[in-house]
Amino acid sequence: MRFRTLLVVAMAAVLGLLLLLPRPDRAEALNCTGLAVPSVAAGEAGPPALTLPQLDVAKRVVATAKGMAVTKRGAVIALQVARQESTFDATVVVGRATGAFQQIAPGPGNAYVGYDRTDPGMAAKGFFTVLSARVPGYDSDPRSNADIGQVVQASGAGAAKYAPWRPLAESLADVLYDGTAAMSCATGQGGPTPIRTNGAEVELPPSAGITGSVRAPTPEAARALAAALSWLGTPYAWGGGTTMGPSRGIRDGGVADAHGDFAKVGFDCSGLMVYAYGQVGVSLPRTSQAQLSGGGTVLPWPAALPGDLLFYGSAVHHVAMFLGVVGGSPYMVEAPQSGDVVRVSAVRTGGDFRSEAVRPIPGERPDQHA
């Protein structure tokens, strides 16, 4: 009896300790009121919205600058470049360009080899190495930060692309480099909801609006499905969404602007797919059209399995992720349109439905619906 009592006490102590341990950062959008608002040319309005992973990348860049005795101006230049090149996304890969600074190995003087370019600290070290070599007097150089950043990057887009991000970069440096300013970040958007998976099985959350579970063809496809489901209720934002989570939308000159998508943090249809499959190491193209042509194996709709991508439009304008058949009906998870939110919907097989699917990860189970 005494042993049983001691065991209960020990288990309670362990549980209490677990509850007190710090939890992993969630990819929440932040409205950071201590940060300067980017210029109108940057296409943003209101306080900048960062995610916790984006803020972590900025912190790693600044920490590397301080460790290498790079001046505050050097850190600001790097932050301007990283914001433009990757929106502080250390995992993004575009062709051979990789990481927060979109470095292409081997780089000037082999500066971009010998390390993982998706590591923001190591990528920053490569950036500062080239900065010091190409502009040794950068701290007092009369040229603009954007011009100096262009010397380092030799970007085809030119220095003008870096210029709008100087206010944001300087504000970040004020906080992170020398602490001369305070930054107050309030959550502007809920983080991802944990979705229960068991191997290839995915349990549907209450926010899905349907009950039960679905079985994906592989555990990886199940995790991609769970990743998409974890952001149910997140606002649609045209141009929003990266492998790190929801991000600020962009202007389209039309419907999205009328709904204020450029001031929202969320996902558009293809951005949600990029995020979901990014969580299992699969890099999808950014647009729905590109995801149809280059996202994986193309299959007829009757052969679709949970996790496959579904498309709409003769000229593709929408993509969703097939959730599976629940209660005899096929469902999908999608970021539908401006003014809406990420949600589970019945598969709309009429109208401009393309009756085909793309499978980013090969599956082995037989088809489960007609």
> 334-344, pLDDT tens digit by residue?
999 999 999 99
Q: Say if residues 188 and 49 touch (Cβ distance below 8 Å).
A: yes
32, 44, 170, 269: which one is catalytic? 269
318, 356, 364, 369: which one is catalytic? 318
Q: What is the pTM of this model?
A: 0.55
Q: Say if residues 167 and 36 touch (Cβ distance below 8 Å).
A: yes
So what's the pLDDT on residue 27? 38
170, 220, 334, 369: which one is catalytic? 334
Instruction: For residue range 161-189, list pLDDT tens digits in order.
Output: 999 999 889 988 888 887 766 665 554 45
So what's the pLDDT on residue 82? 94
Q: Which residues contact 53 (CB under 8 A, 6 or more apart)?
A: 25, 27, 88, 89, 90, 244, 245
Q: Nearest Cα to 242, choosing from 280, 275, 286, 291?
A: 275
Which whole number is the average pLDDT over 295-312?
97
Q: How confident is the model at residue 50 (pLDDT cuts 50, 70, 90)?
A: low
Taking 80 as the threshold, does the pLDDT of residue 36 lie above it?
no
Query: Is 269 designated active site?
Result: yes
Q: What Cα–Cα distance (Å) separates residue 203 from each residue in 193, 301, 308, 322, 324?
A: 12, 23, 17, 15, 12
Q: Nearest Cα to 217, choosing from 64, 359, 342?
A: 359
Query: Is 32 designated active site?
Result: no
Least confident of 58-67, 188-197, 215-224, 243-252: 188-197
Q: Which residues contact 89 (CB under 8 A, 6 or more apart)?
A: 53, 54, 57, 100, 242, 243, 244
So what's the pLDDT on residue 39? 44
Higher pLDDT, residue 167 or 157: 167
Residue 132 to residue 342: CA distance in whole angstroms: 45
Q: Say if residues 80 and 144 touch (Cβ distance below 8 Å).
A: no
* Angle, helix 52-67 to helix 166-176, in steps of 10 degrees: 70
Largest CA distance in the chain: 79
CA triple 246-204-318, angle to 5 deg: 45
Collapsing DSSP to helix, strand or coil, 26 comes out as coil
Q: Nearest Cα to 217, choosing from 365, 101, 19?
A: 365
So what's the pLDDT on residue 8? 41
Query: Is 318 designated active site?
Result: yes
